[in-house]
Chains A and B, each alone.
Chain A
Amino acid sequence: SQTIHQWPATLVQPVGSPLSLECTVEGTSNPNLYWYRQAAGRGLQLLFYSVGIGQISSEVPQNLSASRPQDRQFILSSKKLLLSDSGFYLCAWSPGTSDETQYFGPGTRLLVL
């Protein structure tokens, strides 16, 4: 069966510090991968998605970047965090076939102080 991992679960970082959040998927090949951000009590905002290694599409211009160095690894990064980067970050994958269901990881709660 397929599983998706995200770490860390919680992160507190000072303004101006770098960020690296990692997401890995097991049990599938060539998945579509997604990064979302969720503000408290709100819906999900799609940040980045990837249909293959090295292929990244950005949905919202911002302080963040994403990379996909391996087929089942998706990394969200920032060189200098802003207060507004605080939120709940969710990684998801989909089979990239006619099954368009997305499967979510447990999320990373980021607090920038």
Chain B
Amino acid sequence: SQQGEEDPQALSIQEGENATMNCSYKTSINNLQWYRQNSGRGLVHLILIRSNEREKHSGRLRVTLDTSKKSSSLLITASRAADTASYFCATGLIQGAQKLVFGQGTRLTINP
């Protein structure tokens, strides 16, 4: 099965609300990354958090990592219509640290 599993699979909220997506994984990791994919396009890197970090911010994005629970969350504050996309977590494993294992993604829809 996939290393990373996002939850929920789909999320629909009103513009201006906050969106929270979760990711769980199974094995020890070196880092965890979040990517965004607009429909039919390539993925865009959002943020990387290392296994020794607990929280990281980038603009309206806030990522947390709990290695004891093997989980991460991505919070997008004050959502905008342009945030509509699929969001994927990807884990960089300790073994084969150059590879990433992607989850199935959360489809986020921001309603105007």
Q: Total interface residues on B, using CB and 8 Å?
A: 26
CB distance from B106 to the nearest CB of A (A): 11
A38-46, A61-69, A70-78, A79-87 - interface stretch: A38-46
CB distance from A87 to the nearest CB of B (A): 12
Q: Total interface residues on A, using CB and 8 Å?
A: 25
> B-side binding surface: helix, strand, loop or mixed?
strand
Bound-state Cα–Cα, A48 to B30, Å? 20
B25 at interface (Cβ–Cβ under 8 A)? Answer: no
Q: Is the CB–CB distance between A43 and B102 below 8 Å?
A: yes
Contact of A46 among B31, B92, B99 (CB under 8 A): B99
CB distance from A97 to the nearest CB of B (A): 10
Q: What A residues does B99 contact at CB under 8 A?
A: 34, 46, 49, 59
Bound-state Cα–Cα, A100 to B97, Å? 8
Bound-state Cα–Cα, A101 to B97, Å? 11
Q: Is the CB–CB distance between A104 and B101 below 8 Å?
A: no
Q: What B residues does A49 contact at CB under 8 A?
A: 98-99
Q: Is the CB–CB distance between B31 and A43 below 8 Å?
A: no
Contact of B98 among A41, A51, A103, A105 (CB under 8 A): A51
Tell me the nearest residue of chain A to B105, going by C-beta. Answer: A43
Contact of A107 among B35, B41, B44, B92 (CB under 8 A): B41
B85 at interface (Cβ–Cβ under 8 A)? Answer: no
A102 at interface (Cβ–Cβ under 8 A)? Answer: yes
A-B contacts, 16 listed (Cβ < 8 Å): A34-B99, A36-B102, A41-B107, A43-B105, A44-B102, A49-B99, A51-B98, A90-B42, A100-B97, A100-B98, A100-B100, A101-B33, A102-B43, A102-B90, A107-B40, A109-B40
Instruction: Show the binding face of A for B, using Cβ within 8 Å.
Output: 32, 34, 36, 41-44, 46, 49, 51, 59, 88, 90, 92, 94, 96, 100-107, 109
Instruction: Show the binding face of B for A, using Cβ within 8 Å.
Output: 2, 4, 30-31, 33, 35, 40-45, 48, 88, 90, 92, 97-105, 107
